[in-house]
């Protein structure tokens, strides 16, 4: 999949249907949009591309407001690739871009060589002050050979499925429920960093410390059954996220004990899948009490993962 960062960079003239949206998490609702695009692309004998934005526009409009996301740019690109996109345009929002009129954005779309169709969700908006919507988009392209299709919002429990719903579930530790809406386990990828070395030196359970990701949705503090992917291989694991109250840490950490694993992992690709919440963080009276609880957590995780 080819990745570009501006609409003007699309110059190959290949016939394509484009999906538009921020698509944070690429959840089941977003996947419904992708499926509509695939149907239209087949009708038009065209490929499929995606036009999205990264980082979140709010990081430009209101830099002081933290917008936690469900995916990094790299993870989102991988979701697009798996959905069959052959081109992804990650527009970098600037104040100038966000101040453009809705009509100016529509003209930019119309100028894309080879564009055959546009697919969005029902609630897609664009232009300064979100003045453009799917209705104005359909009116703009009416009578042209560019088809505009909207995918209805997917409902879950009578409510529209949204990235906000998924974020709220994860932040509450309900990673199992979030997985149902995502169509997969919630994941984080990053570098393994050196921590306090207590896992191996003091407790006898060597842990991999995932570098705390920037601007990402974090599960509620506690212990989780997880899966760890290292260079394409998947291993069962137990992960603690929090401040380790037994030791009085100030900074939040993500520490993972990989079950039945004894290899060097520094410098290797590392992805964590959050499978199920086991318990909250507890301040133990002694190291021995903590060790006993970790052994119990490992047994619980085995029952969940095996």
Which backbone phi and psi does 28 adopt, to 5 degrees?
A: -60, -35
Q: Which segments within 159-265 are labelled E, that is strand?
A: 159-160, 186-190, 192-193, 208-210, 222-230, 233-242, 253-258
CA distance 30 to 33: 5
Per residue in 1-27, pLDDT (tens digit) is 999 999 999 999 999 999 999 999 999
| Structure token pair of residue 306 | 């095996």
Per residue in 282-291, pLDDT (tens digit) is 888 888 888 8
CA distances from 275 to 46, 66, 93, 170, 269 (A): 38, 26, 33, 11, 19
Asked if 301 contacts 238 with a C-beta cutoff of 8 angstroms, the reply is yes
For tokens 């920037």, the residue is 214
CA distance 277 to 14: 46
89 contacts: CB under 8 Å, gap ≥ 6: 3, 4, 5, 6, 7, 9, 10, 49, 50, 51, 52
For the chain, state the CA radius of gyration. Answer: 22
For tokens 């990989």, the residue is 258
How confident is the model over 242-270, as a mean pLDDT? Answer: 83
CA distances from 73 to 25, 48, 79, 157, 264 (A): 10, 19, 10, 29, 27
For residue 194, name the pLDDT band (cuts at 50, 70, 90): low
Please state, for a pLDDT cut of 70, what percent of the chain lies above it. Answer: 95
Does residue 126 register a pLDDT over 50? yes
For residue 186, name the pLDDT band (cuts at 50, 70, 90): very high
192 contacts: CB under 8 Å, gap ≥ 6: 208, 209, 210, 211, 265, 266, 267, 268, 270
| Structure token pair of residue 13 | 């003239």
Does residue 52 register a pLDDT over 70? yes
Could you tell me if residue 78 is left (phi over 0), alpha (psi between -120 and 50 degrees) or otherwise beta? alpha
The residues annotated with a catalytic role in the active site are 255
Asked if 58 contacts 19 with a C-beta cutoff of 8 angstroms, the reply is no
For residue 40, name the pLDDT band (cuts at 50, 70, 90): very high
CA distance 112 to 130: 22
Asked if 252 contacts 244 with a C-beta cutoff of 8 angstroms, the reply is no
| Structure token pair of residue 1 | 């999949």
For residue 196, name the pLDDT band (cuts at 50, 70, 90): very low
Tell how strand 47-53 and strand 87-91 pair up.
parallel
The SS3 of residue 97 is helix
* CA angle (77 as vertex; 12, 43 as ends), nearest 5: 55
Does residue 107 register a pLDDT over 60? yes
């Amino acid at each position: 999949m080819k990745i570009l960062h501006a609409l003007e960079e699309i110059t190959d003239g290949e016939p394509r249907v484009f999906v538009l949206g921020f698509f944070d998490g690429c959840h089941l609702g977003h996947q419904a949009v992708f499926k509509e695009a695939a149907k239209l692309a087949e009708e038009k004998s065209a490929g499929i591309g995606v036009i999205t934005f990264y980082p979140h526009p709010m990081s430009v409009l209101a830099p002081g407001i933290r917008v936690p996301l469900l995916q990094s740019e790299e993870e989102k690109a991988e979701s697009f690739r798996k959905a069959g996109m052959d081109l992804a345009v990650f527009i970098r929002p600037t104040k100038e871009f966000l101040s453009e009129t809705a009509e100016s954005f529509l003209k930019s779309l119309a100028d894309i060589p080879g564009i055959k169709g546009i697919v969005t969700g029902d609630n897609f908006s664009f232009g300064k002050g979100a003045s453009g919507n799917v209705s104005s988009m359909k009116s703009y392209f009416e009578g042209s050979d560019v088809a505009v299709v909207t995918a209805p919002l997917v409902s879950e429990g009578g409510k529209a499925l949204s990235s906000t719903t998924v974020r709220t579930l994860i932040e509450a530790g309900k990673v199992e429920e979030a997985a149902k809406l995502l169509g997969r386990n919630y994941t984080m990828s990053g570098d393994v960093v050196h921590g306090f070395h207590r896992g191996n030196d003091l407790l006898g359970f060597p842990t991999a410390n995932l570098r705390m990701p920037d601007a990402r949705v974090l599960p509620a503090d506690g212990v989780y059954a997880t899966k760890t992917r290292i260079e394409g291989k998947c291993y069962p694991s137990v992960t603690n996220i929090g401040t380790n109250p037994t030791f009085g840490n100030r900074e939040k950490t993500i520490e993972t004990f990989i079950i039945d694993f004894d290899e060097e992992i520094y410098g290797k690709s590392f992805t964590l899948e959050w499978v199920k919440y086991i318990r909250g963080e507890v301040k133990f009276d002694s190291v021995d009490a903590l060790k006993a609880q970790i052994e119990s957590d490992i047994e619980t995780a085995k029952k969940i993962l095996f």
